[in-house]
Amino acid sequence: MKALVFERSLPRYAAARVVSSLGSGRGVSVAPLRLTDLDPPTLPGPGWRRVRPRLAGICGSDLTTLDGRSSRYFEPIVSMPFVPGHEVVGDIDDDGGGRVVIEPVLGCLARGVEPPCPACAVGDTGGCERVAFGHIKAGLQTGYCADTGGGWSDGLVAHASQLHPVPDGLSDEAAVMVEPAACAVHAALAAGVTEGSNVVVLGAGTLGLCTIAALRQLALPGTLVAGAKHPAQRRLASALGADLVVDPPEVPRAVRRLTRSLAAGAQLTGGADVVLDCVGSADSIEDAMSIVRPRGRVMLVGMPGTARLDLTPLWHREISLTGAYAYGRETAGGNGRPGAPRTFELAFELVVQAGLERLVSARYPLDRFHEAVEHAGAAGRRGATKVVFDLRDQPRWRTAETAR
Amino acid sequence: MRLVRRPSFPWAAPTWPDGVELAPLERSVGVDYDTAWSRRYGVRVARAALLDWVARPVVRALASPRVDGLDRIEHLDGPAIFAANHASHVDLPLVLSILPPRFRHRTLVGAGADYFFDTRWKGALWSFAIAAIPIERQRVNRRSAEEAGHLLSQGWSMVIFPEGGRTPDGWARPFHPGSAAYLATRSGLPVVPIYLGGTRRILARGSRTLRPGSTRVCVGRPLWPHEHENARRLSTSLEAAVAALADETATDWWSARRRSAAGRTPGLGGPPVGAWRRSWALGDDRPERHRRGSNGKGSRDRWPLAHRGR
Amino acid sequence: MSPRPGFVLEVDRSTPATLIWHGEGFRLERLPVGSRVVYPPEALSPLEDPDAAIRHALLHPLGDSEPLPALLRPGMRLTIAFDDISLPLPPMRSPDVRQRVIEAVLDMAATAGVDDVVLVAALALHRRMTEDELRHIVGDRVYDAFAPHGLLTQHDAEDPDGMLHLGLTDAGEDVEINRRAATSDLVVYVNIDLVPMDGGHKSVATGLASYRSLRHHHNVRTMQHSRSFMDQHRSELHSSNWRMGRHIAASGVKVFQIETTLNNDTFPDQFRFLQRREWEWSVRDRAGFLAVSKSLERTPERLARSIFQSIRAPHAVTSVQAGEVEAVHTRAAEHLHTQQSVEVAGQTDVLTMGLPYLCPYNVNSVMNPVLVMCLGLGYLFNMYRGKPLVRPGGALIMSHPTPWAFDPVHHPSYIDFFEQVLPETTDPLEIEAKYEEAFATDPWYVHLYRTGHAYHGVHPFYMWYWGAHALQHLGAVIVVGGDRRAVRRLGFKPASGLGDALEMAEDVVGADPSITHLHAPPLLMANVS
């Protein structure tokens, strides 16, 4: 089976880091990622199913890895070599039918950990406490685990608990947006947006746009301000429900005027109630802290990595700085209560309501992965949002078992 | 193919829109050239240097002047009008270089507006080099006369060639009453008659080569305009005075005085005869070194000699 | 030679290229044959002894007013208000005429033994001036005598204790002016009339007023009903100010008005080609033009800006009149019209104008896009009496680099107006209804206006309203050589050159349009028949 494999190779990883300084996604030309013929992953145990990807998205965190910039934090919770790709819509192969979206988090259930950790016990897999343990290798998600395979291939294995059937009316493009939409839903619900509050979303890539849509559909912000760099992003941000869309350098002025606050230097004295940072750079976090009101909340939705920050305003203004990683079960304003809807169920609704299908802007076959990754790295500038691998035309593979 | 494009506005002068009435031409050349700048202190110093260190040595080498009669103006302190006959471009530097220092560096030159001031460049050159001020040759221009009178009253002297130009044939033309005499009567300043001899041999009108030679300069007694003096009468006496000086140069002071008293001083204008005889009477105009080995009569350069019948 | 009146040139094949302003620069451009160019009158000859003229005016007031010395007595409260840095343009060479007038007034006050004297810069909602700027206006003698004691003040329309509400006019307009002025026994207002809009009752009723009062005439309706606001008799702006001025007088505030007019001598000698007719350019003018324009091509923007901002105009005083407000203004306006009026026969399809680097609101700073709009559509478009120079539905072509640049110190609210309001709408009425209130009361802008050197939060709105009449009147506005994004944001069309702009204009006004170019500055007022 064809797959893009990410291997452990320090020199190439370092080289990718150097090359990627030319621009995000450029590191792929030297990164330890290669297209190979692999044996399909074996089913790790009962309850596991083969999935044949149809579309697999390229996520911002994938780019970070390929650019050699991912945090060392991940070292113990991933296992190499792995096949990247965690935004996957595919066919359940064994049954020969049924499209599914994979919920990539590998929680206690998938790992065969008995009894499950308290978070997994209530279905809040995003908060799993056993990510590196159990009968499969370490890996926080499908796409970072050596045992499961990933979306950038024509075959992977997934636990039944990870599978969400795709309704017939939903296109593959819409379905592949469910995973990022789920992240956004989780962030939007966890951000504690009260009715009428002023909310700012920094960044208008896939995650930023999904977050704008999620906030608009699932919360009741008073005014939703979006900072978007590129014209196409600005158009989409408006279309998805932002009240005021401005260039990133204009955000502080827009927030100041909106909240009628004063300014002391670059720091607003008042500010927005909640700022969702969908960029994840040190600069964007500092920007977020300078425009959030005292005792407001800054939520990091984009994966931040290592950042050098002045946390004085955090201390002085008693800002809550929180992260929003992934999903499980949601209730507005709180996580993990049993009986609450699964994040993915809400995400399916959001994708349909907000028409997130339109965010899929480019499809590439696997063997053109250089172009695909570079396109994803320059998505905003090139007027794109989500770049996906299209695997629907790949010849069918035969498992080792069937060959025998 | 044209290699050089004709420059257009603003590199070239603008053309006047057809629809706009032409403004009266603002003349800044000819008599309207403004020479005030050439009388500023710095310019005067530069000009004095030019005159003392360049012009005078050159004149001395070229024209070897013999100067008589400077004692006649020794008592003269204030500004004066120096009037001389005019045969050559050498005349002016010659006059300037023999003037005593108190006049030399504060002397203007009345220069023909049409010749010396017809372009800005020439105007600038001459007003710098010789402190020229533009005057009209053939008629009295009230404005330029006023300007000149004003400058005279400020202590500037002036050199004027009352003939209104260099002689075409060697004989002087009648003095123009509208120039030196007119200015003198207007300003009440004295006119100093000066006779210049021999300059035509060095550089005649129309000639292009300089021929070094010797020259004579004879300065006469200042003529003061009497009250209600008529410019025409003063001009006549000025012409007579120059003629007497010419006579004195050619012969001696006493003979010249006597002829003058008898009213028999030969006129500057030459005999009223046909053209060739006038030239003949003038004698040999060529520089002396070309005449070596000739009849050895010496300076047979003025017709009075012929009359003297020596 | 006596100064020649302004005139209208018809461009023919012999006409040399026409000078067109372009921000911090200018260029020569050939206008199509048959276009008209409106030239301003030449500078009037100045008063020989302005100080004597000032004294004479103070001693022989116009209208129903006693001579100034008769109005001064010991123990009285005297307030001297004066126009701010927005006048004249460019700032005039020292001594400023305001300095001369203020010194003459103070001389008389000293003679009369008046102790309680305060000077107020009549800023309205303009920015506060720096010390240097104030010194330039009032002169060092006055500054050093008054400023250290806090007696040289700048009007603060947002000072709750500094304003006094004098009631409503017959038309129900709030009249709220500077408390010190309102409670003085005599207000002496020292004016410079640069354009016909200035002076008259507008001096006190606008210069010393608050937002609460100003909004009654600084609004879209007033502007759209003024034809134009440069013509007092056809201007709603002025009707309202006159009502307020009379109300102020009726409330017992005695105003002794001093209005001065200046001549058209706008640029110093090294830039004199800017105010000469092209076909009369001498070698020196051409060399000057070439030297300046060639070196500007190589000059960094900021440096060019500071060079131009350092220009001091050789403006000379042409008249001084003092006394009762209306009589004074009538006389001053006559002088102004003598200097600026040009007879123009008929309207045009396309009006072109080159916008210079300066308008009243960017002295010592950048001319931002909102000010570009205000200078073109507000000021220059409205410099007419009778009918606008351009016909209804015609096109206006302006030449200006229109950089996306703002002075964050002087124009903070402009930035937000440009970034957040204009993308939503450029319709003055909608802008007024939706955003004015929020900007006018924004505490941050108020803070910067009161303590920094910032224009009031509502000021960019007034700039936009200033152009409301033009926006309503014109079929198209095209900006030549501007930053494309900024021009689009203003709601105008960008063009790369004048030729392109004229082609674009033809789409709006039809083929073979009549074209008129406004050759200003120096300023001119077109009497369009």
CB pairs under 8 A between B and C: 48
**pLDDT at residue A401 in the model:** 44
- Write down the pLDDT at residue A295: 95
Question: What is the count of structural domains for chain B?
Answer: 1
Structural domain includes residue B309? no
**In the prediction, which pLDDT does A87 show?**
95
A244-246 and A263-264 beta bridge pairing = unpaired
Q: Give the count of alpha carbons within 13 A of C500, CB side only.
A: 10
Task: List residues bridging with C63 in a β-sheet.
Answer: none
Residue of A246, A255, A257 to mutate, testing the C interface (most C Cβ within 10 Å of its Cβ): A257
Separation of alpha carbons C505 and C393, rounded Å: 11
pLDDT in tens, A7-52: 988 899 999 999 888 888 888 888 899 888 888 888 888 889 999 9
Nearest to B183 by CA among B165, B201, B156, B209: B156
Please state the ipTM of this predicted complex.
Answer: 0.81
Q: Are A384 and A356 in contact (CB under 8 A)?
A: no
Looking at domain A192-323, which of 1.10.3720.10, 3.30.360.10, 3.30.565.10, 3.40.50.720 is its CATH number? 3.40.50.720
Task: Check pLDDT > 70 for residue B305.
Answer: no
Give CA–CA dist C335/C318, Å, rounded.
Answer: 8
Residue B180 is predicted with a pLDDT of 84
CB distance C286–B10 less than 8 Å? yes
How confident is the model at residue C473, as a pLDDT? 95
Is the separation of the CB atoms in A254 and A199 below 8 Å? no
Select from 3.40.190.10, 3.90.180.10, 3.40.50.150, 3.10.129.10 the CATH code of A2-179+344-403: 3.90.180.10
What are phi and psi for residue C12, nearest 5 degrees?
-125, -175
- Chain A residues within an 8 Å CB radius of C438: 257, 260
Is C510 a member of any domain? no
Identify the burial level of C67 via C-beta atoms within 10 angstroms of its C-beta, where 0-12 means exposed, 13-18 middle and 19 or more buried. Answer: middle
Please, what's the largest Cα pairwise distance for chain B? Answer: 77
Largest CA distance in chain A: 73
Q: Is C356 exposed, middle or buried (0-12, 13-18, 19+ CB in 10 A)?
A: buried
Report the side by side order of strands in the sheet with C525-528: C341-344, C525-528, C384-386
Q: What is the pLDDT along chain A (404 residues), one digit of tens a residue?
A: 889 999 988 899 999 999 888 888 888 888 899 888 888 888 888 889 999 999 999 999 999 999 988 888 888 899 989 999 999 999 987 656 789 999 999 999 899 888 899 888 888 888 888 888 888 998 889 999 999 999 999 889 999 999 999 999 999 999 999 999 999 999 999 998 988 999 999 999 999 999 999 999 988 888 999 999 999 999 999 999 999 999 999 999 999 999 999 988 889 999 999 999 999 889 999 999 999 999 999 999 988 888 889 999 999 999 999 999 888 887 654 444 456 788 999 999 999 999 999 999 999 999 889 999 999 999 988 888 999 999 987 665 544 444 33
Residues of chain C with Cβ-Cβ distance to B19 below 8 Å are 9-10, 12, 15
- State which amino acid sits at residue C52: A
Question: What local confidence, expressed as pLDDT, does residue A314 receive?
Answer: 93
Average pLDDT, chain C: 93
CB contact under 8 A, B14 and C283: no
Task: Centre a 10 Å sphere on the Cβ of residue C116 and count the other Cβ atoms it contains.
Answer: 14
Tell me how far CA of residue A169 lies from CA of A165, A185, B112, B275, in angstroms: 12, 22, 106, 126
Average pLDDT over residues C414-419: 94
Cα dihedral B67, B68, B71, B76 sign: negative
Q: How confident is the model at residue C528 (pLDDT cuts 50, 70, 90)?
A: very high
Domain annotation covers residue B294 = no
- Candidates C445, C443, C452; CA nearest to C415 is C445
SS3 A247: coil
User: How remote is the C-alpha of A112 from its chain's centroid?
Assistant: 25
Q: Per-residue pLDDT tens for B169-203?
A: 788 888 888 888 888 888 888 999 999 988 888 88
Work out the average pLDDT over C411-437: 94
Mutate to test the interface with C, among B8, B11, B16 (most CBs of C within 10 A): B16
pLDDT in tens, B246-296: 888 888 777 787 788 788 888 887 777 666 666 666 655 544 444 444 443
C-alpha angle A260-A261-A263 in degrees, rounded to nearest 5: 140
CB C16 within 8 A of CB C279: yes
| Dihedral sign (CA C172, C178, C184, C187) | negative
Could you tell me which of C232, C200, C240, C233 has the C-alpha nearest to residue C323? C200
- For residue C229, the model assigns a pLDDT of 86
Query: Which amino acid, C447?
Result: H
- Report yes or no on C204 lying in a domain: yes
Helix axes B253-261, B231-250, angle to 10 degrees: 140
A260–C contact, CB cutoff 8 A: yes
- The C-alpha angle A204, A205, A207, rounded to 5 degrees, equals 95
CATH of the domain at C162: 3.40.50.11440
- How many beta carbons lie within 10 A of that of residue A149, not counting itself? 28
* Domain annotation covers residue C385: no
**Per-residue confidence band for C514, with pLDDT thresholds at 50, 70 and 90:** very high
Subunits adjacent to chain B (3 or more Cβ pairs under 8 Å): C
Which pLDDT belongs to residue B147?
82
Alpha-carbon span B85 to B247, nearest angstrom: 13
Which domain range does residue B131 map to?
A: 30-276
**Percent of chain C having pLDDT more than 70?**
100
Q: CB-CB: which of C9, C13, C278 is closest to B14?
A: C278
CB contact under 8 A, C420 and A246: yes
- In this prediction, residues B102-122 reach a mean pLDDT of 85
**CB of C525 within 8 A of CB of C197?**
no
Q: How many angstroms separate the CA atoms of C125 and C158, rounded?
A: 9
Task: Tell me whether residue B10 is in a domain.
Answer: no
Numbers of helices and strands, H then E, in chain A: 14, 19
Kind plus residue range of the DSSP H or E element containing C487: helix C484-489
CA dihedral B166, B168, B169, B172 (to 10 degrees): -40
Predicted local confidence at residue A400, as pLDDT: 43
* Res B306: pLDDT: 38
- The answer to whether position B7 is within a domain reads no
Nearest chain B residue to C281 by CA: give it. B14
Domain segments of chain A as ranges: 2-179+344-403, 192-323
Shortest Cα distance, chain C CAs vs residue B108, angstroms = 28
B residues 37..96 contacting C (CB < 8 A): none
pLDDT tens sequence across B41-86: 888 899 999 888 988 999 888 888 888 888 888 888 888 999 999 9
Predicted confidence at residue A264, as pLDDT, reads 87
What pLDDT, on the 0 to 100 scale, is given for residue B286?
45
If DSSP codes are grouped into helix, strand and coil, which group holds residue C216?
Answer: coil
> What is the count of structural domains for chain C?
1
DSSP symbols for C250-267:
HTT--EEEEEEEE-S--S
- Residue C140 belongs to domain spanning: 50-262
Q: Which of B165, B107, B164 is nearest to B132 (CA)?
A: B107
pLDDT over threshold 50, residue C404: yes
The answer to whether C485 contacts chain B (CB < 8 Å) is no
If DSSP states are collapsed to H, E and C, what string results for chain B?
CCCCCCCCCCCCCCCCCCCCCCCCCCCCCHHHCCCHHHHCHHHHHHHHHHHHHHHHHHHHHHHCEEEECHHHHCCCCCCCEEEECCCCCCHHHHHHHHCCHHHHCCEEEEEEHHHHCCCHHHHHHHHHHHCEEEECCCCCCHHHHHHHHHHHHCCCEEEECCCCCCCCCCCCCCCCCCCHHHHHHHHCCCEEEEEEECHHHHCCCCCCCCCCCCEEEEECCCECCCCCCCHHHHHHHHHHHHHHHHHHHHCCHHHHHHHHHCCCCCCCCCCCCCHHHHHHHHCCCCCHHHHCCCCCCCCCCCHHHHHHCC
A254: which chain C residues are within 8 Å (Cβ-Cβ)? 416, 419-420
Residue C218 inside a domain? The answer is: yes
Q: Say how far apart CA C368 and CA C418 lie, in whole Å.
A: 9
**Which ranges of C268-362 would DSSP assign to H, the alpha helix?**
283-297, 301-309, 325-340
- As to burial, measured by CB atoms within 10 angstroms (0-12 exposed, 13-18 middle, 19+ buried), residue A192 is middle
Q: What is the SS3 assignment for A267?
A: strand
> Residue B287's pLDDT is what?
42
Question: What pLDDT, on the 0 to 100 scale, is given for residue B288?
Answer: 43
Whether residue B20 and residue C9 make contact (CB cut-off 8 A), yes or no, is: yes
SS3 percent helix, strand, coil of chain C, rounded to 5, is 40, 20, 40
Residue A335 sits at φ, ψ, to 5 deg, of -105, 160
Asked if B10 lies within 8 A of C280 by C-beta distance, the reply is no
Is omega for the bond preceding A115 within 30 degrees of 0, making it cis? Answer: yes
Look up residue A157 and give its two tokens: 């294995």
Do the Cβ atoms of B18 and C13 come within 8 Å? yes
Is C10 touching B (CB cutoff 8 A)? yes
d(CA C109, CA C69): 7
Question: Residue B268 belongs to a domain with what CATH number?
Answer: 3.40.1130.10
Does B192 fall in a domain? Answer: yes
C190 in a structural domain: yes
Distance separating alpha carbons of residues C182 and C213, to the nearest angstrom: 14
Q: How many residues would you count in chain C?
A: 529
